[in-house]
Chain A
Amino acid sequence: MVNKDLIPKYWYNIIPDLPKPLPPPRDPPDAEFSRVELLKKILPKEVLRQQFTIERFIKIPEEVRDRYAIIGRPTPLMRAKRLEEYLDTPAKIYFKYEGATPTGSHKINTAIPQAYFAAEEGISHVVTETGAGQWGTAVALAASMYDLSSTIFMVRVSYEQKPMRKTIMELYGGKVYASPTDLTEFGRKILKENPNHPGSLGIAMSEAIEFALDHNYRYLVGSVLDVVLLHQSVIGMETIAQLDELGEEPDILIGCVGGGSNFGGFTYPFIGAKKGKKYIAVGAAEIPKFSSGKYEYDYPDTAGLLPLVKMITLGKDYVPPPIYAGGLRYHGVAPTLSLLIKEKIIEWREYKEEEIYEAAKIFMKTQGIVPAPESAHAIKAVIDEALKAKTEKERRVIVFNLSGHGLLDLGNYESIRRRVEK
């Protein structure tokens, strides 16, 4: 039985606590239409208000807290005791387990409020894109919770490689299309150039926005925008309360970064409360955003329909290699997270596929959970930090966000096994 009192009553917004101004979204030079104005047409009103709010704490509607309880919030905070023993480290390792939700990842935390605000506004249908499938699954479930229809543009390569993700989305009532599709002008343009295009998150996002605009539906956004990180702060708020209950003070907080939503949601409440000494964002070496990305204005989507935002980016046209962690295959990093990295408040690491695989195997062996390949990036950093604590003989408290389980990524694990364990 879930005690609803343990679910936070407020989301935390880091914008008022940033060390420098957050550069606002802008329209490109010589824009034929205003992308900032376009946001008004595609996002539910309350979502848009929250995107630009500077209130530090925002009340979570009771209807949303009810749904959070249904999906099993608060999610467990667990101690990785056997991992500690395996590493023979004096460090204590805790993890917040977001894989314990029905959709298997943290994505549902923002899908629920966004669907709720859309339903409140009288919208009947929501649209989104998905890469690996976690976000699309979350939207399909959240939409069904509020009796909304949903359409999901799924990156073609994932659609073909992960048919089970499509099945879940359809079971929840979502309509799923392999992007690029012929349902949008942008998709048709891409298909004309290359009928076998494998798709990308940027393309799927562009299709979803165009589709929402054409039908006067609303678009739900899965990562990168500030409002998503705001909703995800429920992870960090809960973790703070859970650590308090245990009487623990965290030293190091770690999470993986695709667009930045699970990382921001997990760490920002700690940064705001001045808890923790070190925050580490982990990406994939194959998509070297942190080491090679530039901090500049860029489009979140490939078609350039959304406003330009200032972020660490590899460029909107960057085509990521098909690495096994689909959620990390994104060209940019959320603007607030980019700023905090630039200001050196948050550190970063990048790891290669083989290193991640080893870390995931250690975690499976010791803790029994198959981590999502994305989350395995965080685990690799945790192992490194725990071993460092061992060398330095320091009893540090390391907390990380296990943003999702990998039970629908077994095909990916199978393929990496073939590559790595030749």
Chain B
Amino acid sequence: MRRMLVTYMTLGYPNLESFYKFIEKSVELGTDILEIGLPPKYAKYDGPVIRKSYKAVTSWLKDYVTPLKEVRKKVNIPIIILTYLEDYLSNLDNFLTILHELGIDGVLFPDLLIDFVDEYEEYVSKIKGKGVKAVLFTGPSLPDNLIIKASKISDIFLYYGVRPTTGVIIPVSVDSLITRVRNLVQNKLVVGFGLNDFNDLRKALSAGADGIAIGTAFIEEIEKYGIQSALQLVKTIRGILDEYS
């Protein structure tokens, strides 16, 4: 079975031209699902690298509709939007309608099961009711029964973040975390949030992850060495995933 590569990129980073190029080429190189970050007002659970990328684009990117329309035209794999529910509480219906009209497949709110845990099922129904898929984000601090319940209603896959914040490599036992969650979940399991060395990645795959989500590593690579180098990294990671397919 092919292991999924979920490639994350902040909308418009580092500039529109390079962003489109990265997205398109990464699909050619084996990305299965695109995860696109819409900069929130407060990136509560993101690490310094992703936060910097948000900051970099918000100075000039005022409209998310046009670039998303463009991305939809350029690729034909599932696109998931990652952003924070907190920002859309007052106009969620409108936001979901726009995503649906743009042909975006799903939405992932990392704060849904943390800050809105008492009403998460209502929000999931609302998202699905608007024709958008709801990808649920879980992590080690969620009780087992909540992970089980969430995994059953999560569309496309269940996202499992191994660390409390993106890109900050707090020492955790990646393999035991994933073994635990693998036993609870029938759904496809994609692991991310703090996986950015090959060792972690292999551990995640050996422990039964159906896919991995990578973001910080690509942004860091673009920041330091440019798009070409980030694409090379996509290729390398695809290779590792294929070893386990």
Contacts and interface: CB of A to CB of B under 8 A. Distances in A.
A144 B41 CA distance: 47
Interface in A1-41: 15-27, 29, 31, 33-34, 36-37, 39-40
Contact of B164 (A24, A29, A31, A55): A24
A16 B144 contact: yes
Mostly helix, strand, loop or mixed at chain B's interface?
Answer: loop
Interface residues of A, number: 30
A408 interface: no
B165 A36 contact: yes
Contacts of B51: 27, 31, 34
A45 interface: yes
B173 A53 contact: yes
Given A36-B164, A49-B171, A55-B176, A21 B45 contact: no
B139 A21 contact: yes
Contacts of A19: 143
B146 A48 contact: no
A52 B172 contact: yes
A219 to B, nearest CB: 16
Interface string B104-139: 000000000111010000000000000000000001
B167 to A, nearest CB: 9
Given A21-B143, A23-B114, A40 B169 contact: yes
Size bin of chain B's contact surface: 20 to 34
Contacts of B45: 24, 26
B180 interface: yes
B244 interface: no
A45 B168 CA distance: 13
A19 B141 CA distance: 11
A54 interface: yes
Nearest to B172: A52
Nearest to A18: B143
Contacts of A20: 117, 143, 146
Interface of B: 41-45, 47-48, 51, 113-115, 117, 139-144, 146, 163-165, 168-173, 176-177, 180
15 contacts: A21-B113, A21-B141, A21-B142, A21-B146, A24-B45, A24-B141, A24-B164, A27-B47, A27-B51, A36-B164, A37-B168, A49-B171, A49-B172, A54-B140, A55-B173
Given A26-B165, A37-B168, A52-B164, 7 more contacts: A15-B141, A17-B143, A21-B142, A33-B48, A34-B168, A36-B170, A52-B171
